[in-house]
């Protein structure tokens, strides 16, 4: 345990040791080494500020005061609180005081001093009085005031840990950034053979070798051991806040061995060079669909139940996505909680910024990630396809045509599909922009007519963004289109038109067939061609996912090979213990023309 504390002291500025703080501004702080710390949180948009400190008896005090309140009232409240602590301490000697006739102990003197040593006037408003570097004195104890230091608002480890798979903590900060925080990982100390259980439980923690980064990948040596993370919040000015720790709920478990994406990672070890854009599209299988009786017994009966669990699949997904070293990732079927609590924080640790758009009246949606040192976000133009068709003047012609087929129109309006559109700008060459679109079209096998309408709305919207809002901006259109290369939807997107007599207009067979001719002027092609399949389940396999690119401005440098058929079918079909989804990611490196 002593070794743990010494390591923490070396690694974590701001960690309290006895009554001494190792400088909130780092190892070279000029603050008085004997001075305690009072933390003030004051945000202009909020009516109150908070003051937190620890009294000499070890009791913590946390006060909320109006920002406009005079300082004198806050100091009086501090004196009263400190006096209560003194009163409790003196209560034990009440009988002795009664016998001697001594009065109760007086309230301590409380004052706030400016950085130049002058007492701050008591009529000064709290928001103005509690400045960084001022000194609060409570009786004989002095506190250095730190206003809005970096703080951790959340620190959490994943529930499932697998050897060989990255552990990405969820880190949320205030007045700081996870990118500037300090991290130190620890592992449970192995008990020596023959040591009693009680003694083994008290052996504590030791530093994990190489555990000083935000992401830690446990090895087989960690199997059976729990992990602990101590994180110190910080900002770009190397100002440090109070460290917090998080322990894993369970031990590291053995990984599944070889995964379907391992061989693909050999092609994507490094981030692409200048002028290239590595792009990924992937339907990751939403947990709300994987965790159903239908999924376990009908859709994926061949899949081991534990490998359908969210925590298990998230381990595989994080490793798979991180290993692609992508510049742009478009995901479909992303649970909102997965984006917020798992994938978002994990990919952020690997340098990717995430955007999320939930489906209408659903718990899952789309996520687009971009590498923040390659791109910056200019704007977002997300739409719900049914709402845009109904309300946007851009689609009036299509809306009027569809009015002749009310049954089809109603079915289109019932669908919850959305289109996520993000316009990104190159950080190295601001003249280069790219419009990244992401969608997941209607799933039903007999819904080809619905998908044609959805694709028409999506393409009209994308064209508006790339021709009117940001003229001459190249397009990368990713998604699960639920359409094989033989369908009208695929032909429409890649060829620019679909005839009114195409068989997909009557694909349902129940309502009156549409007779609509659709066209668009965009020059789009499938960057990864037409793979034999991107979805492989027990009862179906086919190509449903695509990365469509603007061939007038972009060209394909390389397509990362898909897993071999033997790898995909090792466990019969997908998902499996070695693959987290029923779809396969498409990956390609694109080049500006």
- The enclosing H or E element of 368 equals strand 364-371
Q: Which residues pair with residue 239 across a beta bridge?
A: none
Segment holding 456, helix H or strand E: helix 448-464
Q: Determine contact, residues 505/516, Cβ cutoff 8 Å.
A: yes
Count Cβ atoms below 10 Å from residue 248 Cβ, excluding itself: 22
Q: From 56, 52, 71, select the one nearest 19 (Cα to Cα).
A: 56
Q: What Cα–Cα distance (Å) separates residue 461 from each residue in 234, 365, 454, 519?
A: 42, 19, 11, 13
Whether 351 contacts 326, CB under 8 Å: no
- Contact, 324 vs 268, CB < 8 A? yes
Give the angle subtended at the CA of 538 by the CAs of 532 and 543, to the nearest 5°: 25
Q: Which distant-in-sequence residues (6+ apart) come within 8 Å of 170 by Cβ?
A: 154, 155, 156, 157, 341, 342, 345
| Residue 66 among the catalytic residues | no
Longest alpha-carbon distance in the chain = 107
Give the active site residue among 480, 504, 550, 589.
480
CA distance linking residue 87 with residue 251, whole number of Å: 46
Tokens encoding 74: 């806050």
Catalytic residues: 480
């Amino acid at each position: 345990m002593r070794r743990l504390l010494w390591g923490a002291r070396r690694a974590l500025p701001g960690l309290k040791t006895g009554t001494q703080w190792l400088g909130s501004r780092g190892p070279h702080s000029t603050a008085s080494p004997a001075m305690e710390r009072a933390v003030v949180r004051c945000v202009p948009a909020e009516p109150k500020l908070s003051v937190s400190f620890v009294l000499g008896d070890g009791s913590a005090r946390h006060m909320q005061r109006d920002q406009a309140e005079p300082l004198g009232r806050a100091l009086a409240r501090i004196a009263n609180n400190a006096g209560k602590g003194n009163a409790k301490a003196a209560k034990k000697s009440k009988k002795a005081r009664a016998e001697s006739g001594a009065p109760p102990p007086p309230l301590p003197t409380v004052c706030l001093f400016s950085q130049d040593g002058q007492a701050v006037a008591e009529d000064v408003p709290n928001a103005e009085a509690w400045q960084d570097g001022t000194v609060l004195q409570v009786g004989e104890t002095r506190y250095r005031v730190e206003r809005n230091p970096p703080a951790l608002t959340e620190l959490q480890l994943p529930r499932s840990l697998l050897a060989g798979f990255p552990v990405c903590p969820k880190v949320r900060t205030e007045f700081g950034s996870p990118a500037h925080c300090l991290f130190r990982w620890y592992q449970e100390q192995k008990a020596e053979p023959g040591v009693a259980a009680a003694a083994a439980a008290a052996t504590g923690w030791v530093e994990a070798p190489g555990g000083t980064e935000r992401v830690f990948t446990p090895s087989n040596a960690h199997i059976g051991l729990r992990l602990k993370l101590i994180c110190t919040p910080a900002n770009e000015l190397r100002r440090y806040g109070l460290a917090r720790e998080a322990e894993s709920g369970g031990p590291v478990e053995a990984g599944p061995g070889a995964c379907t994406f391992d061989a693909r990672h050999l092609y994507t070890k490094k981030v692409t060079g200048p002028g290239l854009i590595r792009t990924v599209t992937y339907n990751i299988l939403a947990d709300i669909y994987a965790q159903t009786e239908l999924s376990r017994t009908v859709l994926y009966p061949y899949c081991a139940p534990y490998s359908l669990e969210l925590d298990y699949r998230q381990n595989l997904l994080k490793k798979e996505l991180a290993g692609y070293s992508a510049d742009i990732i478009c995901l479909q079927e992303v649970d909102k909680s997965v984006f917020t609590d798992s994938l978002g924080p994990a990919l952020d640790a690997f340098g990717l910024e995430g955007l999320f758009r939930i489906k209408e009246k659903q718990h899952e949606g789309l996520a687009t990630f971009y590498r923040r040192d390659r791109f910056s976000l200019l704007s977002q133009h997300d739409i719900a396809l049914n709402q845009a068709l109904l309300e946007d003047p851009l689609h009036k012609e299509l809306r009027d045509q569809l009015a002749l087929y009310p049954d089809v129109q109603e079915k289109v309006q019932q669908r919850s599909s959305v289109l996520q559109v993000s316009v990104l700008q190159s950080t190295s060459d601001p003249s280069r922009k790219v419009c990244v679109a992401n969608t997941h079209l209607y799933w039903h096998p007999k819904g080809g007519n619905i998908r044609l309408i959805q694709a028409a709305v999506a393409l009209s919207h994308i064209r508006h963004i790339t021709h009117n809002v940001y003229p001459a901006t190249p397009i990368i259109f990713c998604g699960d289109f639920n359409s094989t290369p033989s369908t009208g939807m695929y032909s429409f997107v890649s060829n620019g038109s679909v005839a009114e007599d195409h068989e997909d207009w009557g694909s349902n067979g129940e309502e009156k067939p549409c007779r609509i001719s659709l066209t668009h002027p965009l020059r789009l092609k499938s960057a990864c061609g037409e793979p034999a399949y991107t979805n492989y389940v027990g009862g179906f396999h086919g190509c449903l996912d695509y990365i469509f690119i603007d061939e007038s401005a972009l060209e394909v440098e390389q397509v990362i090979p898909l897993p071999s058929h033997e790898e995909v079918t090792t466990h019969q079909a997908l998902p499996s213990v070695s693959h987290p989804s029923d779809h396969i990611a498409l990956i390609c490196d694109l080049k500006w023309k």
